[in-house]
Amino acid sequence: MEKAYKLLAKQEHISANEAKRLIDSGKVFAYDKKIKIARAMMKENTKPQKIFEDNNIIVINKPPYITSEEIEKTYKTPLLHRLDKDTSGILVLVKNKNFQKKAINEFKNKNVYKEYLAWVSGIVSEPIIVDMPLKVIKTKSGAYSKIDKYGDEAITEIEPVKAFRSKSEVKAIIHTGRTHQIRAHLSYINHPILGDEKYGGRPAKRVMLHHHKFRIFDYEFTADIPKDFTIMEEYND
C-alpha cells in the first residue's frame, strides 16, 4: 500500500506537491471513483486482466492509466500493437517471431478487425465513414495527427450505439492503424471524444475510448467494458 499522491507522482513523473494539487482539485480517479484524500492508502499495482494465452500470443484487457509499454515490461513479451495510456481494452503481445511476422503482414493487408467504443460530444444518429488521410506531427508535448491531403490513408467507420442528452456512444471500426486515428477522425466530424482535450473534447476523467473487439487469423476476442466507461455526473451539459 502507498499514499495516493505518492503513487500519482511516480506514475506521472511529477512532484509530490503537484500530485497533491491534482487530487485536491478533484481531477484524479481510481476504480471509477474520485480520489478525495491525497494521503489515502492505495494498492501500488493492479495487474491487468489476461483474456487469453497460447504459444503465439497473450491478450490483455488493458485498464486505463497504464501505458502499453508498462504491460510489455510486466509480461516480458513484445507488443503486437499499442494503445494510448488512457485507452482501455484489448492489447496483444506476441510470443514468437514467426507469428509476429505473419501478424504484421495481416495488419499491412488490412485483414485485421479492430472495433472500438467511444463516448463523444453531440448526437450521432446515422453511420458515417471518415476517409481522410492523416499526417503525424511530433512535438515536445507528444505526437498528434491532423487531416492532410499528403498524409497516410486513414479510414474509420462510425456507427451510433446510443445517446445520452447531448452525447453519444459510438462504435468505431478502423481499417487502417494510424496514430490517434479515431481521435482525429471523430474530432474532424465535430464529435470529439469526451476527455480528449488534445483533439477538442470536453473534460472528463479520461479519454473515453475502449478497444472492444479484435480479430486476426482464427482468433477473435472481446474485452469487457470497464466500470469507468459510463456517463455520469461529471459530464453534465
Catalytic (active-site) positions: 84
Q: What is the number of residues in the chain? A: 237
In angstroms, the Cα distances linking 232 to 79, 164, 205, 218 are 33, 10, 10, 37
Tell me the residue type at 213. Answer: K
Write out the three cell numbers for 11. Answer: 506514475
Termini Cα distance of the chain: 37
**CB within 8 Å of 115: residues ≥ 6 apart:** 171, 172, 173, 211, 212, 213, 214
Residue type, 230: T
**C-beta separation of 116 from 212 below 8 A:** yes
